Amino acid sequence: MKTHRLLAATAVAILAFAGSVALAQDRGNQQGHTQFDDHDQQVTRDWYNQNQAHPPAGLRNQDRLSAAEESRLREGVVLDKGLRRKVHPAPPDLSRRLPPPPSDHRYVVIGGHVGLIDNNYQVKAVIHLHDNH
């Protein structure tokens, strides 16, 4: 009888542990991702190539950043006021092709780049679209 109770308790413990791991993984997926992977970069480059003839604000030649501004657009930094003025929402058709960002993040375009920033303007990821960057 003790063996049956021990086996039952062990089975319950294993199932409870497996369920909590699955729940944690589901919660992680709801958070969205905060980095661009190779697929995201390819999707973005394909979209850009298809729309290069009529690029939106933030991706036009006249929107390119100066060398000094380029040096301030890096993962992990918080955009200063000057760069914040140059941020535009990513085009909806591009955003739909990318995985949903976390609820406190958004896709943006700035000076020939596509970025993922949080609500505090911290840069999480950047895709450089122009060849000279």
Q: What is the pLDDT of residues 45-86, one digit of tens each?
A: 999 999 999 999 999 999 999 999 999 999 999 999 999 999
pLDDT for res 133: 43
Segments in the chain forming alpha helices (H): 2-30, 38-51, 67-72, 81-84, 92-97
Encoded amino acid at 125, one letter: A
Local confidence band at 20 (pLDDT 50, 70, 90 cut-offs): very low
How many CB atoms lie under 10 A from the CB of residue 33? Answer: 18
Q: CA torsion sign, 61 to 70 to 37 to 130?
A: positive
Taking a C-beta distance cutoff of 8 angstroms, is the pair 74, 126 a contact? Answer: yes
Q: What is the mean pLDDT of residues 121-131?
A: 90
**Topology adopted by domain 36-128:** Nuclear Transport Factor 2; Chain: A, (3.10.450)
